[in-house]
Amino acid sequence: MTYAYNRLDKDNAVVLLVDHQAGLLSLVRDIDPDKFKNNVLALADMATYFKLPTILTTSFESGPNGPLVPELKAQFPDAPYIARPGQINAWDNEDFVKAIKATGKKQLIIAGVVTEVCVAFPALSAIAEGFDVFVITDASGTFNEMTREAAWRRMTDAGAQLMTWFGAACELHRDWRNDVEGLGTLFSNHIPDYRNLFTSYETLTAGK
């Protein structure tokens, strides 16, 4: 099969943050907890920077899964927020699907906890309905590398594209000249090494 490069388009993308809940985050073991939370917040900042419509959803908040990470709720106070009463697959929730379709976007940028369930199930369902799905791997987490690899394989076999938040941001931005300071600040806020690089750049270009 010939591969077609279907790249992200900021005018046709919506971000889905699925089940980044306090209880579920304690299950993430395939990535360092601090790095994982940084990546989730970086994805959120990316969505804000590119003005992408963003949809939040949680599963069974009243149970052990717990509430949504408070930073996400604070960052997107006006975003659709679907607290699913019990559906494990977010796509089984009518309000969630309606919120996505209401954006008119065909590219779904998705991340969540845990990868093989909360990300894979809606990703596969969306692909089956004709959406293009881009999974942000480093803002999604699960129990271990084995379950992560199984989830990635299942999604890619169905047509999902695996990306990191950094790669997604670069693809959305297209050209540094669109906004050097803005993109550099986004990266600097979440990648310590990049902060050093950008500080050097700002020093060299000061006064020019």
Q: Is 2 helix (H, G, I), strand (E, B) or coil?
A: coil
Q: Which amino acid belongs to residue 26? A: S
CB 93 within 8 A of CB 84: yes
> Distances in Å between the alpha carbon of 103 and those of 10, 67, 88, 99, 166?
13, 25, 23, 7, 24
CB 141 within 8 A of CB 119: no
Question: Per the residue annotation, which of 14, 56, 113, 118 is the catalytic one?
Answer: 118
Measured CA to CA, the distance from residue 124 to residue 158 in angstroms comes to 7
> Distances in Å between the alpha carbon of 24 and those of 69, 109, 114?
10, 20, 7
Measured CA to CA, the distance from residue 113 to residue 67 in angstroms comes to 13
What is the signed CA dihedral for 171, 173, 175, 177, rounded to 10 degrees?
-160
Q: Provide the 8-state DSSP code for 160.
A: P
Q: Which one, of 61, 125, 56, lies nearest residue 89 by Cα?
A: 125
Q: Is 170 a catalytic residue?
A: no
Active site residues: 118
